[in-house]
Chains A and B, each alone.
Chain A
Amino acid sequence: NAGVTQTPKFQVLKTGQSMTLQCAQDMNHEYMSWYRQDPGMGLRLIHYSVGAGITDQGEVPNGYNVSRSTTEDFPLRLLSAAPSQTSVYFCASSSLGNTIYFGEGSWLTVV
């Protein structure tokens, strides 16, 4: 049972570069989301989706784009990376109104 799978695990980017963090879930969950986790800040919601074709902004959406073309996948795109985006990113999924399950995280450093 794979659950929520994120790739890559680690990434170093130069300022201005773009990249996509991949997220896939095999539990047929409607709800998927991206969080970032910073020291002393807890988990903050970036973007979320309640189903294929539907996305919405969370608490800290600036600098990130998402799309949800399928139920399984929810990639997070950084169009022009900034040092402030150095963080640990977690993808999560759930059936609506039920427990949210997290991936193992992606450690991103922007230099």
Chain B
Amino acid sequence: GESVGLHLPTLSVQEGDNSIINCAYSNSASDYFIWYKQESGKGPQFIIDIRSNMDKRQGQRVTVLLNKTVKHLSLQIAATQPGDSAVYFCAENSKTGANSKLTFGKGITLSVRP
């Protein structure tokens, strides 16, 4: 069956350092991947996405890397800031006909040390 998982439940980084959050997926039919950030008491917020025909996509301070060979997704945050402290989810989207199914990982907590 398909699954999306994160390798580490928590990650603590020093302010200013780069953060790397990893995610594994198992559904080779997934064609779209998304990273979400969820702050305490709020809904998941879209960070960045990548389609399966790409292996890298950059945003502002964030980069997503997709390795389809090993079914691995990562989120890199440059110069991590206290405001980056949150729970991060990866998600994979697979299509069945006209329907899309989004499967989430359980989340990893990023804690930024001042």
* Interface of B (DSSP majority class): strand
Contacts between the two chains (Cβ within 8 Å), count: 46
* Interface of A (DSSP majority class): strand
Q: Which residues of A contact B107 (CB under 8 A)?
A: 42
Q: Does B78 contact A (CB under 8 A)?
A: no
The size of the chain A interface, using a CB distance under 8 A, is 22
Q: How far is the CA of A14 from the CA of B10 in the complex (A)?
A: 35
Cβ-defined contact, A96 with B89, below 8 A? no
Cβ-defined contact, B99 with A102, below 8 A? no
Q: Does B95 contact A (CB under 8 A)?
A: yes
Q: How far is the CA of A39 from the CA of B77 in the complex (A)?
A: 25
Give the residue name and chain of the B residue nearest to A31 (CB): B100
Among the listed A41, A50, A102, A103, which residue makes an inter-chain contact with B106, where contact means beta carbons less than 8 Å apart?
Answer: A41
Q: Which residues of A contact B36 (CB under 8 A)?
A: 102
